[in-house]
Structure 1
Amino acid sequence: MSNKESLSDDLTEIKKEIESYVQNRIDLTKLHVAEDLSRFTAGVAVRLVLFYIAFFILLFLSIAAAYAFGRYTNSTELGFIIVAGAYLVAGIIFYLLRGILINKPIIQSFIHLFFPNYSNYDKE
């Protein structure tokens, strides 16, 4: 066998190894993306179910509180107005604190999801 044939065989083998390596890296990347998307989807689904449960609990507690305030003030309408006013105040406070309560935790959860080893997110 000549040097030229041996070199050609070596190059062919190296080419096959590189192709195999690249394909394995592509498959690994696909698996990581699938894992991240599944975690994200599962997290959203769990939070959505908990949101619906909390919504109905809050709804019925609000109706009960409105009737209780109505009985206390001898005016059902006033009871519902008091509960609505409490929600208005809570909504305004929530709006004013939305950066701390919503934006920052969402950003941190995305960073943790896609970069699990990165834990030094700068606190603003």
Structure 2
Amino acid sequence: MSRKEKISDEIADIKQEIESYVQNKIDLTKLHVAEDLSKLTAGLAVRLLLFYIAFFVLLFLSMAAAYAIGSYTNNMVTGFIVVAGFYLLVGILFYLLRGILINRPIIKSFIHLFFPNYTKYEQ
């Protein structure tokens, strides 16, 4: 075997190794994306289920509170107006504090999901 053939074989081997490495990196990236998406989907499903449960608990507790206030004041309409006013106040507070209560935790959870080693998010 001549020296040119040896070098040619070595170059072919290096090329094959590089192609194999690139393909393995692509496959690893696909696996990481699939893992992150499955975590995201599972987390959303759990949160959605908990939201539905909390919604119905809150609905029935609100109705019970409205009837209790209505019985206490001898006017059912007053009970429902007091409960509705409470929810209006909570809604206004949520709207005013949405950056702190909603936006920041969602951004942090996405950062921790996709970049688990990054812990310096403060804004």
TM range (shorter): over 0.9
Instruction: Give the drift of 1:41.
Output: 0.6
Query: Equivalents in 2 of 1:13, 1:44: separation in Å?
Result: 46
Partner deviation per Cα, 1:61-83 (whole Å, 9 max, x = no partner): 00000000110111111110110
Question: Is 1:87 matched with 2:87?
Answer: yes
Aligned length: 123
Partner deviation per Cα, 1:5-34 (whole Å, 9 max, x = no partner): 001111111111011000000000000000
Instruction: Give the drift of 1:89.
Output: 0.5
Equivalence for 1:63:
63
Equivalence for 1:33:
33
Equivalence for 1:74:
74
Question: Is 1:52 matched with 2:52?
Answer: yes
For structure 2, the 5+ residue unaligned runs are none
Query: Equivalents in 1 of 2:8, 2:52: separation in Å?
Result: 66
Query: Equivalents in 1 of 2:94, 2:18: separation in Å?
Result: 55
Q: CA RMSD in A?
A: 0.6
Query: Equivalents in 2 of 1:63, 1:46: separation in Å?
Result: 26
For structure 1, the 5+ residue unaligned runs are none
Equivalence for 2:13:
13
Instruction: Give the drift of 1:115.
Output: 0.6
Q: Secondary structure at the match of 2:103?
A: helix
Query: Which amino acid counterpart does residue 18 of structure 1 have in structure 2?
Result: I
Point out 4+ residue stretches in structure 1 off by more than 2 angstroms. Answer: none
Query: Which amino acid counterpart does residue 69 of structure 1 have in structure 2?
Result: I
Instruction: State the identity as a percent.
Output: 74
